[in-house]
Amino acid sequence: MGTVIRPEISKSNPYYISKHRYYELKHFCLQYPEWQLKARDLELRGVPYSPYAFSRLSDISDPTARQALLRTIYTDRMDMVEACADLTDDILAPYLKVAVIQGCSYDKLNARLCVPCGKREFYELYRRFFYILDQERR
């Protein structure tokens, strides 16, 4: 997690969120690759057969519904991260997505992808992204 943004900013900043909320949202975004793998696995694997699925009378389960629900949860979370990046800025959304999903700093991102803005502007949008995500997650 190489971003060099300060986790705590002034309360007068329009994109202020508390330090611990920022860390919570940052770690939420860093789970994106796991959600991708799990959603893809659920899609490819199908519904497993288990002769013991109905062994407990108090827990009558529907494996198909359970898998569909899990896949929906993962895709909704991925869509939320992507939508918040798109709401932040149309042009820099792909760069923001890489930064928040992979935990890349501006310098590393700029070396890899040549970000079309300066460091200060990028981190201002980075803060804005987390502010928007905070609003969406409430």
Tokens for 8, please give them: 């705590």
- Taking residue 114's Cβ as centre, other Cβ atoms within 10 Å add up to 8
- pLDDT digits 0-9 by tens, 75-98: 999 999 999 999 999 999 999 999
Q: Has residue 46 got a pLDDT over 80?
A: no
pLDDT band at residue 4 using 50, 70 and 90 as cut-offs:
low
Query: How much is the pTM?
Result: 0.83
For the ranges 64-68, 124-128, 130-134, which has the lowest average pLDDT?
Answer: 64-68
DSSP string, 85-104: HHHH-TTTHHHHHHHHHHT-
Cα–Cα distance, 130 to 7 (Å, whole number): 11
